[in-house]
Structure 1
């Protein structure tokens, strides 16, 4: 560590650069930033700043950082909730109330620590400014270790110079910064149970993505020939083009036309289920029915609180997903393991049956456009170099069910909250993390109008060539279909909203798409423009995601 005299802000800026932080998202721009190393990204909404930082972290494998003004700190809760529930390592530096104004109804006074506490992994009220550098290092350590999560530093103003200890912990520049090793004895027990199973499978959750363990998962799956289903948070942990891929679990993707029916069938028909990095939440398990609770359950997770939470577990292993799967593959090879099962034909037949059932919708020539046809036309543009980002509600259901992705950080959705008004900021963060990647963002018209529309200008200002596909059906359809009676019409918007024109007004390209045959050409134009481009696709208001279609 190097000790030197400087202001708190100067120390924070220098430490951020030492941690290799390339961007700080938010309206609170530190004027002492060395922009050759760390660039401020100015935004229009504090929630969007946190979501951008989360999208950046998810793709880059490095913690995201946001800087927030005191007046705007209540707006961060939506973004913090997503990062907290999705285990996203985000560090929030917020402008706290001066100590001299504490308890005196000072300017923009509110309990900043109190209302952020429930959506933060850790929060520090930095009342002694000289301790800020040490606390910032602690923030990086906490955000990136164990189950990652957002941390908040409430920084009290101070212009005086301090004796600052500079320096970064190299391990905490990425996540996970610590990888707990599994018990060797337990790994041997897992190997024995797998060897004795008849129809085992793997369910990979978001913990596999956080551990960046997709190579270890592929190796384990190919060695054992166990089918791999993923939770929606784990989508991307295993290539969905692989013959062992059963796709995503979850009742929201089930029914006759949702691809989740394939994963559900495979997992429920398994006598042993290896859960890796999943919180076994309600959506991922179809209300705790998939896997079947009577199956032999082995659960690997970095967070001991998740093991046995919802399923009676034969074996629980507290470990990093990457180290655990590598150790298990080694143990199986050392005992000369050879699989006695093959389920690839079962998966292939189930997938072909699902595709046949979807064909009428996917080839529909209807105007307004059937969303199933939109997905069919978009799918060829989602390749191994693509990151698919989706907002919540209907676009998320279509994206997670009907568009297969390769292994990696290839899919992002707001699974922490399920909230709309989240997709575009996450896509901006993803593009900044991987500028060489193609980023396609699915947005609902309701989601885009839910506080994030202005971030199109942010994308244009920073030259981010994102393609935003708007599902323009003129309503909050996912909510409307749950309602009965005339009040369902309250979910509708004024007809004729032209998002393409709005995008052009915000300095982006905008293309209106009203017929199925126009979609492919519009996508090619968007990708060739090298500018942020919005495709305003007019969809049939009566056609939602058909998970429950009979």
Structure 2
């Protein structure tokens, strides 16, 4: 027997959870202390509860594991609603271990309906029923997070923390999807569609970024002579291979978009085919579509496929190759007339003429992509600059490219980047964010990155405005004054918080940036304040 707070901490450690993000309060402090005091564990404190959840999301996105975070009750949990919604919309598995007010304390100021809060955000909810079932209840929360691919709130009443809990070992494993056997009409129709396609494209989404899936999709693409594309969350999966189109969707390169529009068949693996990927339906209109996904809820939620298959990407792709070989179907020949390289390379931006004291937005993005460390983990916040950044910025592999805009909120990036950075010690993490997002949410976690000792490079795309609103006012020929802000000087602010940084207002300052990056202290965040003209920042 052990006190509940000790048993919960031990359960995390016993299941190889070594990192916990959080903000402590009276309902979770003892549990956090017990976890932090164990050997080979790390507790990373956030400045705000929303940030703690985002850190767990960043950790989960870059590792593929479940992220763990903890907060106390009432306003601590309501502070997490935006982050929980982001996790639910991005299908990221995390467990939020939330304290709750004592069951008998009806008049507690911080009492609220915590299940209603979690459900409203799109998260799952699991109640710690009593100390004797605590480890069973926690295991169920973890299994649900894995299986449902979303945040699950594990609700822990404060008055249970010092009661005895049974030290049982509960499985956190979720059974893997069984072997993919494609039979009957699904097999006949899929192979038939591929056989008659003259311009097929193989598309990989986030559900097909493991090594086995990548290899199998390459085999299929080469067998049928099809170019390869990815969703934004699988970007760079086929980096370095021939006939790679890059991202399929609203950020496709012009040359890739032309090929995608001319295709007659899309074979999608691990992609939900949402409106971003299909360019609001334009890339699937008039085409035969085969969709393979390992979750039934991903089939048919976007574009409706001609053939929908529930199964694993690698096994399904290899099944297609087997039957194409068995009946001696010739290759399409589509890639024979396509360039082997360069289809995924965005055009060089034409320099603009921004006002004095600022630099050109697109040219700066391109230069920054070349200047920043190659082995980076890249995180992007939301803002009007983000769409163009998706096309121009790169990272080594899909899990190294993290977005934080599934809920369309600005200011979620820095905490997400902390989680990603903690998951990858020894590698630099780069965050791109706007000035509005920095002031709205990211500033609160800048010092968290200082405390964590992270090699974090924060690129601040600073146009002195709420950009999405500014461009709408300009489009309607209205005065955009309410969208403009006289922010404080960000580099001195970064230094006051324990970081460092440089200001970029000219081409000369941008040219000097490599030396500044080489000389940075890699144990604290480094801010690059890039000044832009609010009237010359492309949104699309």
TM-score scaled to structure 1, two decimals? 0.88
| Paired residues for 1:347-358 under 5 Å | 351=343, 355=347, 358=349
Question: Aligned residue for 1:256?
Answer: none
Which runs of 5 or more residues in structure 2 are unaligned?
none
Matched, 1:288 2:308: no
Question: Aligned partners of 2:210 and 2:56: how far apart in 1?
Answer: 15
Quote the residue 1:247 is aligned against. 246
Aligned to 1:75: 79
Corresponding residue for residue 178 of structure 1: 176
Q: Secondary structure at the match of 2:480?
A: helix
Query: Are 2:26 and 1:24 aligned?
Result: no
Structure 1 residues 227 and 401 mapped into 2: Cα distance closer, same or farther (>3 Å)?
Answer: same
2:289 maps to 297
Where does residue 40 of structure 1 map in the other structure? 43
Q: CA deviation at 1:466?
A: 0.9
Q: 1:527 to 1:133 in 2, by over 3 A?
A: farther
- Secondary structure at the residue paired with 1:308? coil
Q: Which secondary structure does the structure 2 equivalent of 1:393 belong to?
A: coil
Matches of 1:160 and 1:353 in 2, distance apart?
Answer: 59
Alignment of 1:476-495 (within 5 A): 476-483=466-473, 484-494=476-486
Q: For 1:204-262, what per-residue CA distance to the aligned partner results, in whole angstroms no more than 9, with x for missing partners?
A: 223234898444444443444322222223324332x54322122333x3xxxxx4444
> How many residues get paired?
525
Residues in 2 aligned to 1:333 and 1:436: alpha-carbon distance in whole angstroms: 45
Q: Find the aligned partners of 2:429 and 2:318 in 1 and give their Cα distance.
A: 31
Relative to structure 1, the CA distance from residue 403 to residue 331 in structure 2 (aligned partners, 3 Å threshold; closer, same or farther) is farther
Residues 247/11 of structure 1: CA separation in 2 closer, same or farther (3 Å cut): same
- Residue 407 of structure 1: CA displacement? 3.1
Against the structure 1 CA distance between its residues 353 and 53, is the aligned structure 2 distance closer, same or farther, given a 3 Å change threshold?
closer
Change (3 A) 1:82 1:222: farther
Deviation at 1:369, TM superposition (A): 0.3
Q: CA deviation at 1:464?
A: 0.3
Q: For residues 400 and 336 of structure 2, what CA distance do their matches in structure 1 show?
A: 23
Q: Are 1:505 and 2:496 matched, yes or no? A: yes
Which of structure 1's runs of 4+ aligned residues deviate more than 6 A? 363-366
RMSD (CA atoms): 2.8
Following the alignment from structure 1 to structure 2, what is the Cα–Cα distance between the partners of residues 135 and 210? 30
Farther off after superposition, 228-237 or 212-221: 212-221
Cα gap change, 1:354/1:138 in structure 2, threshold over 3 Å: closer, same or farther? closer
1:269 corresponding residue in structure 2? 262
- After TM superposition, list the pairs within 5 Å mapping 1:44-63 onto structure 2: 44-63=47-66
- Structure 1 residues not aligned, in runs of 5+: 254-258
Q: Distance in 1 between matches of 2:233 and 2:92?
A: 12
Q: How far apart are 1:345 and its partner, in Å?
A: 5.5
Give distance in 1, aligned partners of 2:351 and 2:387. Answer: 19
Q: Normalising to structure 2: TM-score of the pair? A: 0.89
**Alpha-carbon shift at residue 399 of structure 1 (Å):** 2.3
Q: Aligned partners of 1:392, 1:344: CA distance in 2, in Å?
A: 39
CA apart distance, 1:314: 1.7
Cα shift at 1:268:
2.0
Within-5 A mapping of 1:195-210? 195-209=195-209
Within the alignment, does 1:368 sit opposite 2:367 as a pair? no
